Structures are given as C-alpha cells and as structure tokens.
C-alpha cells in the first residue's frame, strides 16, 4: 500500500481569450499547486474504489480515478481521502486523476486532456501558464506564496458558468478583472455573490478561484491559526491557510496503517 498526494490547483488569474468553433473556450491562466489536497491510498494487488469525505461522489467507472486507471490500462485498489471540495474550483477530481497518472508513469498532454481540462496542469503541478482549453502548460519558476482559502458548501457547475459567460457576452458585457468568470459564477449561484461580498468585507482583497465557489486571499490572514470556521451569510465557511508547492511529487510513501 502506498500513499499518493493529490495537490489542489489554484487558478491565480484567469482570462477568457476566445471561443472555438466547437464551443470550447480558450483561456489564459496562471495556476499553482497547493500544500493542501486529497490523499490516495493505492493497493497494487487489489481492484476497488472507495471515497471518504465526499459521499455524493460516485465510486464507479465514471469517477476520474477509474477513468485514469482505464486510460493507462491498470487496475488497483484505491481509497481516496477527499479534502478538496467538489465544485469549488480547486480541481479535486483532476488532481486525483493526475495522481494516478503519475503513479502509472504519466501520459502526454493530449491523453491527460481527455480526462478534463485541469488534468494536464495537475499532472505537471508547481506553477505554470495554462493556455488553450488547458492543453498548453508552460512551467514557470516556482514562487513560494502564502494563501488563505475560503471554502463554502456551495458547489458550482463549470458548464453552467461558461454558458452564463456567453450570455453576458451576447448582451454586450465583457467581463474583465483578475478572474473573467466571476460575474458569470455569481449569476449562476446568487449565494456565491452574497458570500463573496461578505468575504471581501471580512478579509479585504478576495479573489474567486476559477469557475468554482472557493475564494482566496494572497496571504495568511491570521498567523495564529491553520484552519477554522466562520459563519458566512448562507452557511459556514471553512478557512484554510496553506502555501504553494513546487512540481507534483513523483515519489510515494507507504500508506499509514489505518
């Protein structure tokens, strides 16, 4: 039994640069890996998938872990300990799939992209400029950064966010700023708009992470605590202070006995 780290990805900035003929959007974004993420315990002698911490996720062939195993033609027993929230914009499923791909020896960007737009970056990790629909990943020099994550229970569907973005464009509204998808995401989920306004009043300069519900601050907001909960306007918000990390790990440790 070995343990694989699946670091969350954080979209530092995101620009929508165009839309292709097939309907997919072209992006330009800086992404970084975090010292916060899921853990996968892999038994190379077995064949199962168990997910802890996210009971709503299907543990079947549609799960990205199962799809990653199928892509590389491998079988294994995998226990996923989830910490990355679903629909939060931190690439949780992609991070898990990338961990499996690294364990199996890796694949090229095109194969990784077949699992999802964030998988090519998660496979490389560290800090990178990501362009196209996610397939062009240009590594950048690592920068140690402190980050405060604000995690709510709101899950946002990426497809709906891009649809709302297109509707804004059709109305003559062209989103700008650090995250071009913020206006669309808050239209899709009004609770996010209320939570984002509360977070900015509470913590100052707060950025939305990609198309999900996670918000973040470019620093640690409290040097005395690592994680805690606050009561937001529509429910609890979990605050996690973490840091950026270099490229994705390629060596694995024996899993701790449970």
Catalytic residue among 5, 38, 96, 118: 118
Closest Cα to residue 178, out of 148, 205, 202, 150? 205
Q: Is 82 a catalytic residue?
A: no
The answer for residues whose C-beta is within 8 angstroms of residue 116's C-beta and 6 or more apart is 64, 93, 94, 97, 134
The answer for residues whose C-beta is within 8 angstroms of residue 124's C-beta and 6 or more apart is 137, 139, 247, 248
Plot region of 27 (φ>0 → left; ψ -120 to 50 → alpha; else → beta): beta
Say which residue the tokens 């499923």 belong to: 93
Catalytic residue among 5, 9, 38, 96: 9
Q: Rounded to an integer, what distance in angstroms lies between the CA atom of residue 249 and that of residue 7? A: 9
**C-beta of residue 33 within 8 angstroms of C-beta of residue 26:** no
The Cβ of residue 228 has, within 10 Å, a number of other Cβ atoms equal to 12
Q: Rounded to an integer, what distance in angstroms lies between the CA atom of residue 131 and that of residue 137? A: 7
* CA angle, residues 42, 253, 128, in degrees to nearest 5: 90
Catalytic residue numbers read 9, 118
């Amino acid at each position: 039994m070995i343990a694989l780290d699946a670091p969350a990805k954080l979209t530092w900035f995101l620009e929508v640069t165009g839309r292709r003929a097939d309907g997919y959007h072209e992006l330009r974004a800086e992404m970084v890996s975090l010292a916060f993420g899921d853990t996968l315990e892999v038994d190379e002698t077995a064949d199962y998938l168990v997910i802890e911490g996210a009971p709503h996720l299907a543990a079947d062939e549609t799960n990205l872990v199962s799809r990653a195993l199928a892509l590389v033609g491998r079988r294994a027993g995998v226990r996923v300990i989830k910490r990355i929230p679903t629909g939060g914009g931190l690439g949780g499923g992609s991070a898990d799939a990338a961990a499996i791909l690294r364990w199996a020896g890796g694949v090229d960007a095109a194969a990784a992209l077949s699992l999802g737009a964030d998988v090519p970056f998660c496979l490389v990790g560290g800090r990178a400029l990501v362009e196209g629909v996610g397939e062009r990943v240009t590594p950048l020099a690592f920068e140690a950064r402190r980050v405060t994550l604000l995690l709510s229970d709101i899950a946002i569907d990426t497809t709906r966010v891009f649809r709302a973005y297109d509707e804004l464009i059709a109305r003559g509204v062209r989103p700008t700023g650090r995250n071009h998808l913020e206006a669309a995401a808050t239209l899709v989920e009004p609770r996010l708009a209320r939570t984002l306004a509360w977070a900015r009043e509470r913590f100052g300069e707060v950025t939305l992470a990609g198309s999900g519900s996670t918000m973040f601050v470019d620093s640690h907001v409290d040097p005395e605590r690592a994680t805690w909960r606050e009561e937001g306007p529509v429910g609890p918000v979990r605050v996690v202070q973490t840091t950026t990390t270099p490229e994705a790990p390629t060596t694995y440790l024996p899993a701790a006995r449970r």
